[in-house]
């Protein structure tokens, strides 16, 4: 009996709500009109807030195609931004290379101003080649390039990239040559600290950062100072960029080369017209010939 009476009561309440629904809505509308007359500013503010909240939803529902087009356009612009970012990084690397060249020329200019009868050197010739093999390993740091004596390559010539010095030609064949890298154990390069004009010998130890020998104990070292070739020995010209000077945790002064030997693909073999201490190779000696 109780469930029946509860159902009857719910039915009566529902009938009363339906009967007085219109009257309730009319009273609510009348109350809103009174509030609007009493406080127009409050009603206008509520109306504006409701419209601002609902408008973006209605706009998205009314034109889904336009919304999707905007989403696609945003994704496309993101792709363009990534492309521009890559281009800017490349431009930044080029500017850094030009900056290094400007610093070198500025240093040379300061030295040449002290000379009145400066005799310029001969114009350098060059040959571009591809690195076809990398010996790597723990006991040798050298690379094989696809240019030899037929292309004008000679022993002792400088091998460079856009970043700086790579090494020098060690062995020459007719169509190939082997380049001794700066990090090789047999590499000994006369260098100069660009700021202090201090000279030293950079020696490879088959690591990534060659060390500097014969530095004065009283020398005030500046980490990050540019290291360039000094030109002593007549093998390489002065001023070729080599790397940045740093002092390791063990107290050994080392050089971080500008060129990453693990990323070598193309190099330039430059003939500065210097013979120096390098004797020309015998005719017909290949890459695996005499040392």
HEC string for 87-146:
HHHHHHHHHHHHHHHHHHHHHHHHHHCCCCCCCCCCCCEEEEEEEEEECCCCCCCEEEEC
Q: What is the pLDDT of residues 23-45, one digit of tens each?
A: 777 777 777 677 666 666 666 77
In sequence order, the 6+-apart residues with CB closer than 8 A to the CB of 213 are 200, 201, 202, 203
In the predicted model, is pLDDT for residue 268 greater than 70?
Answer: yes
Q: At what angle do helices 2-38 and 40-62 cross, to 10 degrees?
A: 110
In the predicted model, is pLDDT for residue 209 greater than 80?
Answer: yes
Half-sphere exposure of 188 (CA within 13 A, CB side): 7
pLDDT score of 166: 94
In the predicted model, is pLDDT for residue 145 greater than 70?
Answer: yes
pLDDT score of 188: 94
**CATH fold of 125-271, please?**
Thrombin, subunit H (2.40.10)
3-class SS of residue 182: coil
In sequence order, the 6+-apart residues with CB closer than 8 A to the CB of 194 are 103, 104, 107, 225, 226, 227, 228
Name the residue with tokens 């094989």: 144
Picking from 236, 254, 103, 228, the residue whose alpha carbon sits closest to that of residue 159 is 236
Q: Is residue 192 very low, low, confident or very high in pLDDT (cuts 50, 70, 90)?
A: very high
On whether the pTM is more than 0.75, the answer is no
Q: Is residue 66 very low, low, confident or very high in pLDDT (cuts 50, 70, 90)?
A: low
pLDDT score of 179: 95
- The phi, psi pair for 160, rounded to 5°, reads -135, 165
**CB-neighbour burial class of residue 113 (10 A; exposed 0-12, middle 13-18, buried 19+):** exposed
pLDDT score of 221: 83
Other CB atoms within 10 Å distance of the CB of residue 281: 21
3-class SS of residue 16: helix
Q: Tell me which of 42-56, 144-158, 174-188 is least confident.
A: 42-56
Question: Quick one: tokens of 148?
Answer: 């030899």
Question: Quick one: tokens of 269?
Answer: 């073999």
pLDDT score of 285: 38
In the predicted model, is pLDDT for residue 282 greater than 60?
Answer: no
Q: Tell me which of 16-20, 130-134, 226-230 is least confident.
A: 16-20
3-class SS of residue 262: helix
pLDDT average, residue stretch 185-200: 91
pLDDT average, residue stretch 162-166: 90
Between 30 and 289, whose confidence is greater?
Answer: 30
DSSP state of 121: P
Domains of the chain, by residue range, sit at 2-62, 125-271
As a whole number, the mean pLDDT across the chain is 79
Share of the chain above pLDDT 90, in %: 31
pLDDT score of 287: 36
Helix count and strand count (H, E) for the chain:
3, 12
Between 79 and 116, whose confidence is greater?
Answer: 79
Quote the CA–CA distance of 259 and 254 in Å, as a whole number: 15
pLDDT score of 142: 92
Between 35 and 177, whose confidence is greater?
Answer: 177
Q: Could you tell me where the beta strands, DSSP code E, fall in the chain? A: 125-134, 142-145, 158-160, 165-172, 177-181, 188-193, 199-203, 211-213, 226-229, 241-247, 253-257, 266-271
Other CB atoms within 10 Å distance of the CB of residue 152: 13
List beta partners, residue 125.
271
Q: What is the pLDDT of residues 99-123, one digit of tens each?
A: 877 877 777 777 666 555 555 556 6
pLDDT score of 2: 46
């Amino acid at each position: 009996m109780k469930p029946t009476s509860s159902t009857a009561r719910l039915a009566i309440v529902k009938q009363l709500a339906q009967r007085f629904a219109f009257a309730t809505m009319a009273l609510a509308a009348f109350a809103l009109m009174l509030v609007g007359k009493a406080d127009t500013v409050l009603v206008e503010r509520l109306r504006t807030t409701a419209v601002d909240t609902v408008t973006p939803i209605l706009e998205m529902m009314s034109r889904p195609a336009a919304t999707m087009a905007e989403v696609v356009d945003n994704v496309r612009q993101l792709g363009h931004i990534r492309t521009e970012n890559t281009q800017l990084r490349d431009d930044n690397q080029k500017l850094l290379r030009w900056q290094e060249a400007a610093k070198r020329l500025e240093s040379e200019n300061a030295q040449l101003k002290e000379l009145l009868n400066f005799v310029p050197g001969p114009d350098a010739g060059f040959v571009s080649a591809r690195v076809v093999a990398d010996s790597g390993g723990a006991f040798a740091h050298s690379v094989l390039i696809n240019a030899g004596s037929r292309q004008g390559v000679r022993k002792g010539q400088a091998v460079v990239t856009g970043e700086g010095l790579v090494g020098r030609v060690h062995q020459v064949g007719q169509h190939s040559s082997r380049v001794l890298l700066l990090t090789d154990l047999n590499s000994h390069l006369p260098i100069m600290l660009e700021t202090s004009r201090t000279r030293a010998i950079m020696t490879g130890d088959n690591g990534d950062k060659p060390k500097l020998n014969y530095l004065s104990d009283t020398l005030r070292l500046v980490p990050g100072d540019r290291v360039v070739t000094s030109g002593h020995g007549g093998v390489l010209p002065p001023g070729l960029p080599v790397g940045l000077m740093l002092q390791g945790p063990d107290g050994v002064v080392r050089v971080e080369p500008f060129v990453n030997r693990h990323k070598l693909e193309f190099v330039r073999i430059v003939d500065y017209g210097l013979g120096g201490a390098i004797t020309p190779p015998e005719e017909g000696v290949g890459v695996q010939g005499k040392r």
